[in-house]
Amino acid sequence: MGKPRWLAAGVVVGVGGTVWAEQRVRRRVRRVVDRLTPTQVVDEAAGAAREVGARVRVAVATGRDERARREAELWGRLRGEPVRPDLVPVTAATAHGVVRRPPSQRRRQRGPR
């Protein structure tokens, strides 16, 4: 009488596990299908494009600001003014939330060479 009980218990556990796994897979598939609707894909692509555009704008602004800083430094050297490379002017990049550190701090953060 013990073997039929274990057989029945095994069948119940097997069927229950199969049903549970199938429901879990169906939920995952539904989530993926819901995420891949055309409007969701368009929204995701548009968000990524906006993010890339913002990064490019900040990079261009940073480059322009660095160019202007370096140009002012070089003109100051030509005029014989003392050079203060640790001073970072407030620029368009810093106004957009990009924080640039002075060169002396940059070297410290890189670690030993």
* Cβ atoms within 10 Å, residue 7: 10
Q: What does the CA dihedral 8, 9, 11, 13 come to, rounded to 10 degrees? A: 160
Q: Is 9 helix (H, G, I), strand (E, B) or coil?
A: helix
CA distance 76 to 68: 12
CB 83 within 8 A of CB 76: yes
CA distance 26 to 31: 9
Asked if pLDDT for residue 104 goes beyond 60, the answer is no
As given in the structure block, the two tokens for residue 14 are: 């097997």
Residue 50: per-residue pLDDT: 92
Asked if pLDDT for residue 52 goes beyond 70, the answer is yes
CB 100 within 8 A of CB 62: yes
Mean pLDDT confidence for 38-51: 88
Which position has the higher pLDDT, 29 or 112? 29
pLDDT by residue (tens digit) across 8-21? 999 999 999 999 99
pLDDT by residue (tens digit) across 53-97? 999 999 999 999 999 988 888 888 888 877 665 555 555 545 555
CA distance 50 to 46: 6
